[in-house]
Amino acid sequence: KQLNNMNLLDFKRIFVYDAYSTKLGSVEHISSYLFENKYRGEFNYYSFPVSFIPHGDVRDLYLKYELDNLSVYKKIEEKLKKDRD
- Is the pLDDT higher at 78 or at 85? 78
CA 25 – CA 76 distance, rounded (Å): 21
> Residue 3 — pLDDT band, cuts 50, 70, 90?
low
Smallest CA-to-CA distance from 48 within 28, 29, 24 is with: 24
Mean pLDDT of 43-62: 89
Q: Mean pLDDT lowest for which of 42-46, 50-54, 65-69? A: 50-54
Contact 45, 16 (CB under 8 A): yes
> Residue 84 — pLDDT band, cuts 50, 70, 90?
confident
- Tens-digit pLDDT profile for residues 18-41: 988 888 888 999 999 999 999 999
